[in-house]
């Protein structure tokens, strides 16, 4: 039971750090968490990139992927 609480606390901390990073980096100007805006939703990016190495994702976030997502209307 204690381990579950620790993991939940760590997840909340990671979420808070992620939210701060997204705001500071200006990511939220184009990306929503659950809804597509100018750019794809973060949940859609996470699903598409699931299983990729962290370094690859970090580089795409920091440098921009330049990838155009062609989504059906």
DSSP 1-28: -HHHHHHHHHHHHHHHHHHHHHHHTTGG
CATH hierarchy code of domain 2-63: 1.10.760.10
Domain ranges of the chain: 2-63
Long-range contacts of 55-63 (CB under 8 A, 24+ apart): 61/25, 61/27
Q: Which residue has the higher pLDDT, 31 or 68?
A: 31
For 31-35, 42-46, 55-59, which range has the lowest pLDDT when averaged over its residues?
55-59
Check if the beta carbon of residue 33 is closer than 8 Å to that of residue 43. Answer: yes
What pLDDT does residue 7 have?
45
Percent of the chain with pLDDT over 70: 62
């Amino acid at each position: 039971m204690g381990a579950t609480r620790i993991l939940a606390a760590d997840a909340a901390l990671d979420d808070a750090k992620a939210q701060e990073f997204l705001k500071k980096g200006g990511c939220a100007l184009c990306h929503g968490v659950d809804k597509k805006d100018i750019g794809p939703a973060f949940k859609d990016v996470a699903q598409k990139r699931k299983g990729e190495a962290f370094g690859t994702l970090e580089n795409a976030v920091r440098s921009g992927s330049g990838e155009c997502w062609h989504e059906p209307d």
